[in-house]
Amino acid sequence: MQTILKISEAAAIGLHAADYLAQRRELCSAQDIARGLGVSYNHLSKVLQQLTRAGLVSPVRGPKGGFTLSPSGRKAAVRDFMRAIDGPIQLHACLMGAKVCRHRDCMFGRFLKETNERFEAVLDGKISEFSKRK
């Protein structure tokens, strides 16, 4: 059986790190981000490397260095951060794994359709918009 949403731990860390950076204008060290998120420094470092390679995060070396969202990262959508870590996002329309549900009146049909539509809206949202929430 398929799951409805599949978000890896690395992608979750990446999204939270992006949100953390979007809320701050100053450089943030990986240690501060890891501590602020309550995640492993080593795991966060690997995620930040992937986001840097994708051009979403800008690293600054040196004793006063750290990370910040790049200009393109500030404009990027949630899906861009997830794709940088997990690759293409796949939404599922059928819990039984079919590309199109073969059961006309599936009890999950409407739920999956609505869930996928809501998730698509989140994926299309900008990280910078989420960081402005109260």
Task: Please state the rounded mean pLDDT for residues 18-44.
Answer: 95
The neighbouring-strand residues paired with 77 are 126
Percent of the chain at pLDDT > 70 equals: 90
Q: Where are the domains of the chain?
A: 9-130
Question: What pLDDT was estimated at residue 92?
Answer: 76
Task: Lowest mean pLDDT of 47-56, 65-74, 96-105, 110-119, name the range.
Answer: 96-105
pLDDT-derived band at 3 (thresholds 50, 70, 90) equals low
8-12, 63-67, 98-102, 108-112: which has the minimum mean pLDDT? Answer: 98-102
pTM comes to 0.84
Distance of CA 43 to the CA centre of its chain: 15
CA distance linking residue 9 with residue 65, whole number of Å = 26
| Residue-averaged pLDDT of the chain | 87
Quote the crossing angle between the two packed helices 9-22 and 41-53, to the nearest 10°. 80
pLDDT confidence band for 134 (50 / 70 / 90): very low
Q: How confident is the model at residue 84 (pLDDT cuts 50, 70, 90)?
A: very high
9-130: CATH architecture: Orthogonal Bundle (1.10)
Region of poorest pLDDT, from 1-15, 41-55, 69-83: 1-15
Q: How many CB atoms lie within 10 A of CB 1?
A: 7
What is the band of 100 on the pLDDT scale with cuts at 50, 70, 90? low
